Structure 1
């Protein structure tokens, strides 16, 4: 069951104000699609896979699910104004779809064609935009923010699609998924075209690629950051996880930009691939890297044909040098001038990604989205490199997700923290204590001389308060795992919760400024 937020249904995704109707028979030209009744004259002007979001003139995508079939909601969709239904052979046998005169598009795997049909219904909008897709385990959000900043500095009108937010020409929308479902994504692209957007940096998740959410999208650039363990609740193996990511490089991206630091990136390289590396040879490399005392960094991006671009970023950590270099290569590939790249990247801060919280305290406080073993290790290594005092970490793991990474995250944090506070993240439908126990097992498996103190505080608010109370001048407090998120999901209900706000409140309470 999807989580509820204060008992409200999710709002309908945005759509363009005008769509040219498309004949159902034209949609039936997609390979494998059959239409009944033959010769139908119906036309569609929108598409959705949620019956509650149907608008008059829509194609309703009734997909088979793990527990229910979308075709069970076909009658509701048709009553709301749907003029045709896309489904599989089993769905097509539902009574509502056997009624005379109901146009039904049938495909053995309707999800496989939903992206292409959605793109056709909304006028192939990604072909009218320069979409810059970024995939990988870590760094997608940061890289898309860097891309958007460089594009805006060059005077482009931008959209942004990602985990933290969706933006259209500067206007912010909330994001529900890293990559929206195919009908919502194509409608969003069409709305962006309607509002004059020219370029769209976009996070592309492995789920989106495996489930066809990005199908029907043409990418001006496809970029790869890295791959490490995550989402093995969805992908059975790392090879399957990689294969999903690799779909972005199956010919749908006009230009491919790949970070080759690590074992996975080099497997994507072929003739014409633009490569990026901070450690070896590549099309783009980073030289003269400098780290300032506040964590900001500077380097020279060396590109093809002797291109040299001085880059400064406010973001700490060697991994952010890689993200900035990847963004530089992508921006250069779409014609952004060097000065605009330099100017744009210099001003970027990313919500919940190594985000500093300053309420006047004499220690450093950071919120970070790291929620996988490699990301935890990288974030804490970056913090350790510039910490004058102790490193204090608050960390939990999400429920109903990859269980194998929990002890690994506990181990990674325990090895790098002087004090690790194991707490709850989003337990979802699982027992929070069981999740914490798995993390604690990994943390306490680290030999005592190789790890810091490890304690357990289940309540996340209390855990943050405990970390702040133990901090001394020169220490660094890192609240990791949830980053930008503004809710905590427990037993199917999302409760308001912001790590940033809780961290700041705990600091102010400790300083005597605010009492909660």
Structure 2
């Protein structure tokens, strides 16, 4: 494709050099540059692409997109732009043939519930016979492929490439999680959304956004910018959780179609005759198209909200009611989302991704309302991330748990003990007693908390001391099959470690009975 055709869409640009170059490919990574490529210099958290322009040219780049002129740029056309990330998204969309215009594209944003909602919508679409792709926190799935996700929403170039591949594979519908980072960094610019979903808004990612105002304004871009632009071509629909007070702050007056759902507020989509149990959820859901009788293996009120969101999306896309019912009922679990670990000990072992105070509270409130025994919670907080949520999570665990076991999550480059101390601040304010591990024997569980830095040891300890009908919640990492210590990813899966701990417990009891 000619360079001039690629960059023609970019506003407020200055082109210095030859415009009629043939562009063979695009990259924002200087190490992936080949002959006749276009290099786009973007600023990242650790590296600035502007420092690698010369390397890109040496490797074959014949044009570069930059935000500021550099003296050493030679033998390449320069495209000077105000925001190279937005430019990358626009160029990528054009290079790959604007694939989102050929797809039914659903974008889901919010602090919690994005992954489960995306899986539910995907399940409904599949029941309706649509060839569907899903992109989110766990993986990118399409055309029989499942690619582990490096980030919730990929960089715009990678995103457009995958969407183009989906179109090539015959995919017609794509459901994607849209993170606040992606919205703020322009990764989803130039995408045409058929629907945007707002699940909820609570504190998270303040290490990046700094303020709740900036965090919310980033989320809101899906509606007040991208959906507004998309609706000019697609007649897009906004799906809004009306029970969340922040939904009132979304500028929706320019979006033609809005579907509001809620449990407390009865707008277009709302449930009646709700039954929440440890074996799943049943309800009748009222919609503008008629009533749905829902039976879902998913547990808890927070999952009822996810079900309402998914049903609302499907209604907005014209999916018939029987397909919606089947799609919701056939999704038995989402990896690492309130995922139960089967065992013969009569213990409820649950692995959940809850890594915010709000998500942890919703999960623990559900457990408390449904379980008969004591609640043992194993959790930590990520290192090099939002420090303000640490005491909040400690307070939530202390409020609902009989025993909180504070441990490591992904400490990254922080001292795990420092992270744990931050969590302890919140639980100490409740006057909850701290124990030593040695104070708690096997099959005993006192009200209080302990600190166990080693996550493996913490999981084993929790399962060892649990009694019949107790619940062990292992929170924070969910589907992740690794732990980040320093700059290294170490294999570690909460679900597998819980299974191993149960096996060890059974073996020990068998030896005692010999």
Q: TM-score, normalised by structure 2?
A: 0.91
**Residue of structure 1 equivalent to 2:276:** 291
- Structure 2 CA distance for aligned equivalents of residues 226 and 177 of structure 1: 20
2:367 counterpart of 1:383 = yes
- Structure 2 CA distance for aligned equivalents of residues 445 and 83 of structure 1: 61
Q: How does 1:361-380 map to 2 (within 5 A)?
A: 361-380=345-364
The 3 A distance-change label for structure 1 pair 264 and 208 is same
- Structure 2 CA distance for aligned equivalents of residues 498 and 55 of structure 1: 38
Tell me the alpha carbon deviations over residues 291-330 of structure 1, each in whole angstroms, 9 at most, x when there is no partner.
Answer: 23x330011111115x111112111110110100110010
**Residue of structure 1 equivalent to 2:436:** none
Instruction: Give the drift of 1:59.
Output: 2.0
Q: 8 Å contact 2:16–2:78 — kept in the other structure?
A: yes
2:100 counterpart of 1:126 = yes
2:232 counterpart of 1:242 = no
Q: 8 Å contact 1:72–1:94 — kept in the other structure?
A: no
The 3 A distance-change label for structure 1 pair 45 and 257 is farther
Instruction: Give the drift of 1:514.
Output: 12
Instruction: Give RMSD over aligned pairs.
Output: 2.0
**Residue of structure 2 equivalent to 1:198:** 172
Deviates more, 1:242-251 or 1:473-482: 242-251
**Residue of structure 1 equivalent to 2:406:** 422
2:451 counterpart of 1:456 = yes
- Structure 1 CA distance for aligned equivalents of residues 94 and 5 of structure 2: 12
**Residue of structure 2 equivalent to 1:13:** none
- Structure 1 CA distance for aligned equivalents of residues 266 and 480 of structure 2: 37
**Residue of structure 2 equivalent to 1:12:** none
SS of equivalent to 1:429:
coil
* Contiguous gaps of at least 5 residues in structure 1: 1-20
**Residue of structure 2 equivalent to 1:259:** 241
- Structure 2 CA distance for aligned equivalents of residues 234 and 159 of structure 1: 29
- Structure 2 CA distance for aligned equivalents of residues 165 and 404 of structure 1: 28
The 3 A distance-change label for structure 1 pair 316 and 94 is farther
**Residue of structure 1 equivalent to 2:163:** 189
- Structure 1 CA distance for aligned equivalents of residues 92 and 23 of structure 2: 10
**Residue of structure 1 equivalent to 2:309:** 326
- Structure 1 CA distance for aligned equivalents of residues 136 and 47 of structure 2: 28
Q: How does 1:39-438 map to 2 (within 5 A)?
A: 39-65=18-44, 68-89=47-68, 92-95=69-72, 97=73, 99-100=74-75, 102-253=76-227, 254-268=236-250, 269-270=252-253, 272-292=257-277, 294-304=278-288, 307-348=290-331, 349-438=333-422
Q: 8 Å contact 2:346–2:469 — kept in the other structure?
A: yes
SS of equivalent to 2:411:
coil
Instruction: Give the drift of 1:55.
Output: 4.4
Q: TM-score, normalised by structure 1?
A: 0.91
**Residue of structure 2 equivalent to 1:30:** 10
**Residue of structure 2 equivalent to 1:499:** 494
Instruction: Give the drift of 1:180.
Output: 0.4
Tell me the alpha carbon deviations over residues 263-292 of structure 1, each in whole angstroms, 9 at most, x when there is no partner.
Answer: 101222436321111111211111111123
Deviates more, 1:367-376 or 1:268-277: 268-277
* Contiguous gaps of at least 5 residues in structure 2: 228-235, 434-445
- Structure 1 CA distance for aligned equivalents of residues 101 and 292 of structure 2: 30
SS of equivalent to 2:210:
coil
Tell me the alpha carbon deviations over residues 57-97 of structure 1, each in whole angstroms, 9 at most, x when there is no partner.
Answer: 432111234654313222333344433211112xx3152x2
Tell me the alpha carbon deviations over residues 196-215 of structure 1, each in whole angstroms, 9 at most, x when there is no partner.
Answer: 11001100011100110111
- Structure 2 CA distance for aligned equivalents of residues 22 and 331 of structure 1: 40
Tell me the alpha carbon deviations over residues 467-490 of structure 1, each in whole angstroms, 9 at most, x when there is no partner.
Answer: 000111001111000000111111
SS of equivalent to 1:447:
coil
Tell me the alpha carbon deviations over residues 354-400 of structure 1, each in whole angstroms, 9 at most, x when there is no partner.
Answer: 00111322211010000000100000011111111111110000011
- Structure 2 CA distance for aligned equivalents of residues 158 and 285 of structure 1: 26
The 3 A distance-change label for structure 1 pair 67 and 345 is closer
SS of equivalent to 2:10:
coil
SS of equivalent to 2:363:
helix
Instruction: Give the drift of 1:28.
Output: 3.8
SS of equivalent to 1:242:
helix
Tell me the alpha carbon deviations over residues 444-486 of structure 1, each in whole angstroms, 9 at most, x when there is no partner.
Answer: 211349x931000000000000000011100111100000011
Q: 8 Å contact 1:295–1:317 — kept in the other structure?
A: no
Q: 8 Å contact 2:398–2:432 — kept in the other structure?
A: no
**Residue of structure 2 equivalent to 1:475:** 470
The 3 A distance-change label for structure 1 pair 61 and 160 is same
